[in-house]
Amino acid sequence: MSFRPYLCCLFLFLSVLFFANSCTSDYSAASAGAGEALFVHEIQPMLDRKCLSCHGNEPDDLRGDLDLRSRRTMLRGGASGEAAVVPGSPAISPLVLALKRQDPDKAMPPKENEALSPDDIELFEDWIEMGAPWPDEAQQDAILAAGDWQYGNRINVATSGGQSEDWDNRRYKLNNIWAFMPLEKPEVPAGDAPHPVDAFIQTKLEEKGLPATGPADKRTLIRRATFDLTGLPPSKQEIAAFLSDTSDRAFEKVVDRLLASPHYGEQWGRHWLDVVRYADTDGFSNDFIRPNAWRYRDYVIRSFNEDKPYDQFVREQVAGDEIDAGDPENLIATGFLRMGPWEHTAMSVAAETRQQFLDDVTNIVGETFLSIPLGCAKCHDHKYDPIPTRDYYRIQAVFAPTHFAERPAAFLPGENVEMMEEEKSRLERWLHSTREEQKAMNEKEEAAARAWFQQKGRPYLTKRDRRKLPDEEQPPRYLGLTNQDLGYRKVLNKRIQTINRTRTRFEPLAYAVYNGPNREVRSHQAMKVPEETSGAPPATFILGGGSVYAPGEEVRPGVLSAVSTLEQALDAAPRAPEAYPIPDEVSGRREAFAEWLTQPDHPLTLRSVVNRIWQYHFGTGLAGNANNLGTTGKKPTHPELLDWLAGYFVEQGWSFKALHRLIMSSQAYQRAGQHADPELLALKDPDNEYLAVFEPRRLAAEEIRDAMLSISGELNPETGGIPVRPEINQEIALQPRHIMGSIAPAYQPSRRPEVRNRRTIYTERYRSLPNPMLEVFNQPAPDMSCERRASSTVTPQVFSLLNSPQMRDRAIALALRLEAESGAGLREQVQLAASVVWNRPMQEEEIQPAVDFVWEMIRYHTKVPPDPVCYAREVEREMFEEMTGETFHYTEVLDVYADYEPDVKDTDIPPKTRALADLALVLFNTNEFMYVY
């Protein structure tokens, strides 16, 4: 046997090995392949973070006997004997399948909240596709030393610095951080579309091979625009005027008229209040009234009606008191900072309560103005977006000196104070009667104390004087009071707290903030600016796990460091120089932050607000998550259009109304809701993302109620003022709402119909007592920011519309209107009903069935008399007395019903009017009323 072939092969192998080793010493980034660089910059850090704790850091305790510390052990596999990766074949590599969590039993990492993002999994797939290269340590050092590296449209983003080097070196897909990118107004696409909005949309439709539908008819269009801008239906006269106007500017004149209406601010103010979580109560265990929050609500409405520039609108809400504390409007505006639910009780820990507010305000500022939920960076560097935890606490430091206060702010000429005297008189009567009961209880206790002193043969001492005595020389505590007395006295004390707090509603106070050091607060008392507000500003620390008890590094106030337009280089090293400094002083932090928010090229602020405006016109934003333009939000369908609109918005002085006019003048807005080829539409664009048709929408909860009031002729168009209370389901209104130490006073509606029947935006919003009719139609709870209303279709909605007493009241009022405004003939009344509810005349084939229905109901009502409606004058309550553990009872008097003025009821009207009311209920339950097309 000859050894020559063997020796030749051995020599060749050793030569190759020597050559490879000699090359290693001169290894450079330039000689590294994309796979090696990808491994060093992305794969190895992810293995370290996500895998090696179970598969390598403890070689003697490997989960599943799988070692992922090297390519060799990865190819060897674990207990199954199967290689973890198949180089060149990611689709069949067990590691990829585990990362995709296709089999829950083999998912990696095991914890769902540690799962890799789809983008990160895609990097593993790319690496395996390239052969799963694994450079040695010297090669890795050379690749890292080269620094500059880009892969797959990914970039490194400069920030203030994360909590780890891996996070700082993370690279982001450009399309994931699109909202952070510099904002530049693109050119309008060339084409046949004469309108800039349509030019962008038409380009996308052509790419999809999807023709747009034609324009909507004029009745549909005016109904759409009127609900869109005012939340109310058009009147018969407004429809007739539009139909008869054949000029080219006919629709433009409609839009101008609607934008000039005071109802515009009510509708678009409601959208804003959804986002900021407006409510008239605190929430939580006490749900105290916020007496002056209504002034913030009216500030928002007023700002929209005045077309206040959005940059000014933002600055006033974030820092109005710092800009000009002498202007009541500015103080009122800062109520935004306090809109979240909040409480501080005797059992609360002040540091925790304070931190809860700071966390809340930090996150809501991000969601509202930037459309970035900053709370995701509270406990750790953001998992998906370039937001380090340091930025979260830098922004929180902006608000560290901010504290609650009810601040003197004179009533403005445009504020409605007309209803105050009536409500104030009612509260004064209620307070007087409660104090009389409290006085009687105290006198009973003192009578027992007198008897005790007499029995002891000692002179009587008043309650104040005997506090100086030793305990053994005082009468027993609560002497003379029964368990019933003890429990009810606490109810009375809580009631007086509630009344006194509510009475400040009539004082010229702003629900506002001030700057100063931390101080002690009590949630049941109105908070005022203390006499002394000087002192060092509170320090802000990065909190470990978000816990106030784990302070780490101290941080200074700052802004979101990744925003690229603020002179940040996207590929600069981490910890780039501060691009927009915020002062360290107690005052001025929020004003500087607000100036940063309203820079005319701020990519997040402008994309956020323009996207919201588009959403409220079309039902869905150009980017599908109005509160989240980050990686986990939906990507924009028309990013160029969004940026063009942002540029236009600034050019027009940050004007909402200018943007409304532009959008509503487009063909996209004026399209019909039906496509000529529904099958093609369903195939090409099932979600109507590219706007070949106008997407119909169901009326919002408030629009349903307000439209019914408008159609029935009951709507009181008065604007602004203290909250009103409409009737709600009486069972819900009277149910016990337990608050700390007592039961909240029962909900009682406003006494007069003209007060109750104002627009829904002016009704009092309790966090612990939602209006059931509005709730069933998806009015959001005001505890979290609502980026977009849900629009469900469920059976309880029909029951609410057909059977609730409040809807019956609206139907009766409409029936009375039909009789008053049309002739005595039933046919004319039926036609008028359709005209005002549907905003179109009935077709001939629709009239007779409706008339027949009314006749049938007349016969029914002639035979069956209605039941009378009774209102409870008092309600019995039962509670546990916490000191004794025994139950006690008391009677709560419902004072409003002593001289209550109800709406017209069935017992007040003849059978024919009741039958017309039945028809009204049927029409209110049709899609033509409930939807805007």
Cβ atoms within 10 Å of 54's Cβ, excluding its own: 17
Enumerate residues 6+ apart whose C-beta is below 8 A from 53: none
- What digits encode the pLDDT tens for the residues 88-140? 999 999 999 999 998 888 889 998 878 888 888 989 999 999 999 999 999 98
What is the pLDDT at residue 668? 98
Task: Look at residue 56 and tell me whether its pLDDT is greater than 50.
Answer: yes
Tell me which residue of 835, 845, 840, 826 sits closest to 912, measured CA to CA.
826
Percent helix, strand and coil across the chain, each to the nearest 5 = 50, 5, 45
d(CA 731, CA 749): 13
d(CA 541, CA 868): 64
- What digits encode the pLDDT tens for the residues 436-459? 999 999 999 999 999 999 999 999
Task: Look at residue 24 and tell me whether its pLDDT is greater than 60.
Answer: no
What is the pLDDT at residue 100? 92
d(CA 305, CA 272): 13
Tokens of 840: 């179109």
- What digits encode the pLDDT tens for the residues 206-249? 999 999 999 999 999 999 999 999 999 999 999 999 999 999 99
- Kindly report which listed range (506-520, 672-686, 687-701, 834-848) carries the lowest average pLDDT score: 506-520
- Burial class of 425 by CB neighbour count within 10 A (0 to 12, 13 to 18, 19+): exposed
% the chain with pLDDT above 70: 94
Return the C-alpha torsion angle 11, 13, 19, 25, nearest 10. Answer: -130
The structure tokens 């092969």 sit at 9
What is the pLDDT at residue 14? 29
Identify the DSSP state of 307: T
d(CA 339, CA 294): 11
What is the pLDDT at residue 523? 58
- Kindly report which listed range (467-471, 593-597, 817-821) carries the lowest average pLDDT score: 467-471
* β pairing state of 551-555 and 697-698: unpaired
d(CA 140, CA 735): 69
Identify the DSSP state of 234: P
